C-alpha cells in the first residue's frame, strides 16, 4: 500500500470515526425508544447528524491526536440520555440499551469490510476510487473493533459495565454501580500501565484478522 501523508491520513479516518461514534450513540437511543423511553428522540438525538453528538474532546481532539501519533485510536461522543423509569423492565432493558452500542459497531465493521472488498474488486482499473475505499474500509474496521471491545469491558460507566449490572442479582449490581465514579480513573490507569493494550490487543487482533479476511486481505 502507498505511504500516506498527514492530510490523507486525517481524510481517511475522519468519516469512519464520525460514523463509529455517532451510530453507536444513536443505537443506544433507538433501542431505548423501542423499550419505552423516548428521551433521546425528544432531545433530537436519534439522528445521524454528527453535530448533535460531537463531544469536542472525545470526538475531535482525542481521535485526531491519536491518528497523528499513530497510536491506539478511540474516542467518544456525548452520551445519549436514557430515563431509567421510562423503561418497561428497567434492569433488563438498560442492559439491552447498553449492548446496542457495541453491536452497532460490530455491524458497521462488517459494512466497512464490504467497502474494503469493493475496493479490491475495482482494482487497478479504478485505483483513484479503489485505494480510498480500501484505506477507509481498513480504518472503519479498526475504529469499530476498538470501540466495540473497549465498550464491552465490564467497567462502569462503559456499556459492558451496564450489561453486567443487568445480569447480576440486585445486591451485586448495586455494588458494581458504586464503581462508576471511579471508572474513568480505572481506564486511565489501565492505559498508562499498558494493561489496556494487553487486554484488548489479542481479541482486537483476531477481530481485525477475521474482518480483513472477509475483505479479501490474506
Residues, the chain, total?
A: 218
Q: Is 25 a catalytic residue?
A: yes
Other beta carbons within 10 angstroms of residue 53's beta carbon come to 23
For residues 202 and 156, the answer to whether their CB atoms sit within 8 Å is: no
User: What residues contact residue 13 under an 8 Å CB cut-off, 6+ apart?
Assistant: 63, 67, 73, 139, 143
From the list 3, 25, 180, 208, the catalytic residue is 25
Indicate the SS3 state at residue 168: coil
DSSP designation for 88: S
For residues 47 and 23, the answer to whether their CB atoms sit within 8 Å is: no
Helix axes 6-34, 90-122, angle to 10 degrees: 140
Phi, psi of 54 (to 5 degrees): -65, 130
DSSP string, 127-150: HHHHHHHHHHHHHHHHHHHHHHHH
Q: How many angstroms separate the CA atoms of 64 and 76, rounded?
A: 12
For residues 136 and 162, the answer to whether their CB atoms sit within 8 Å is: no
**Catalytic residue ranges:** 25
Amino acid at each position: 500500500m502507498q505511504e500516506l501523508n498527514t492530510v490523507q491520513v486525517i481524510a481517511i479516518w475522519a468519516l469512519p470515526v464520525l460514523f463509529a461514534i455517532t451510530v453507536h450513540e444513536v443505537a443506544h437511543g433507538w433501542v431505548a425508544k423501542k423499550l419505552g423511553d423516548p428521551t433521546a428522540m425528544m432531545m433530537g438525538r436519534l439522528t445521524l447528524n454528527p453535530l448533535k453528538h460531537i463531544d469536542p474532546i472525545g470526538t475531535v481532539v482525542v481521535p485526531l491526536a491519536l491518528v497523528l501519533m499513530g497510536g491506539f485510536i478511540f474516542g467518544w461522543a456525548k452520551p445519549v440520555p436514557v430515563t431509567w423509569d421510562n423503561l418497561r423492565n428497567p434492569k433488563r432493558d438498560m442492559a439491552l440499551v447498553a449492548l446496542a452500542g457495541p453491536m452497532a459497531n460490530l455491524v458497521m465493521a462488517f459494512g466497512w469490510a464490504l467497502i474494503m472488498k469493493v475496493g479490491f474488486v475495482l482494482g487497478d482499473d479504478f485505483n483513484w476510487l479503489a485505494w480510498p475505499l480500501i484505506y477507509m474500509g481498513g480504518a472503519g474496521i479498526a475504529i469499530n473493533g476498538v470501540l466495540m471491545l473497549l465498550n464491552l469491558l465490564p467497567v462502569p460507566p462503559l456499556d459492558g459495565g451496564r450489561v453486567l449490572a443487568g445480569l447480576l442479582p440486585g445486591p451485586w449490581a448495586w455494588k458494581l454501580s458504586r464503581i462508576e465514579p471511579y471508572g474513568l480513573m480505572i481506564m486511565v490507569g489501565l492505559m498508562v500501565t499498558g494493561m489496556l493494550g494487553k487486554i484488548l490487543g489479542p481479541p482486537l487482533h483476531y477481530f481485525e484478522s477475521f474482518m480483513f479476511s472477509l475483505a479479501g486481505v490474506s
